[in-house]
A and B are shown apart, each in its own frame.
Chain A
């Protein structure tokens, strides 16, 4: 069965510093990969997704992620964090060309931003 691991439950970063969130997946084949952000009381917002092609993916809000097949990883990065980036971040996978399109999520990483 597929699984997604986000090793860091909490990360605290200073405003203006860089951020990297880790994501590792276990899957039979390379799946589709996603990063979502969830602010308190809000639904999930898609930051970026990887289907194929260039392994460095650009997303919204200045985020990017790099797919590394050899490490089964899809880490999220941002060069300079803003206070508004404080939220919970979820990595997710989904099967390629399968009916139902259901996502399997990691446990999430909560990001706190210090002024």
Chain B
């Protein structure tokens, strides 16, 4: 597609449930990022992939968060045993190159609400 696609757009989960959020980057984009945006705050970095390799996961808040990109295209962010503090918009971004051009394209995000 022409842009970065994220699904679902909205997800309501009961506390303790596992969720999986999907990101379809722009075809051919090498770099892929996940950011978490809590209500009223700026996005915060979670993790970064270059092709299928997860090169930086320093922003993942706990071991309940797990991300993968097994074939270097689609990525999934999984949150196990969701907690209320996980409620946020999860943004995915992709970039054609891995080097420093910062030419990101962001998706519209998945809004996760944990009740």
Contact = CB atoms under 8 A, between A and B. Distances in A.
Partners in one complex: yes
Which of B31, B35, B104 counts the most chain A CB atoms within 10 A?
B104
A97 interface: yes
Contacts, number: 61
A41 B108 contact: yes
B95 A43 contact: no
Given A101-B31, A101-B95, A102-B56, A44 B106 contact: yes
For this complex, into which size category does the number of interface residues on chain A fall?
20 to 34
Given A46-B104, A98-B100, A100-B55, A107 B41 contact: yes
Q: Closest 7 A-B residue pairs measured CB to CB?
A: A105-B42, A43-B106, A44-B106, A102-B45, A100-B56, A43-B108, A100-B48
Interface of A: 4, 32, 34, 41-46, 49, 90, 92, 94, 96-108
10 contacts: A43-B93, A43-B106, A43-B108, A49-B102, A99-B55, A101-B33, A101-B48, A101-B102, A104-B45, A107-B40
Interface of B: 4, 31, 33, 35, 40-45, 48, 55-56, 59, 91, 93, 95, 98, 100, 102, 104-109
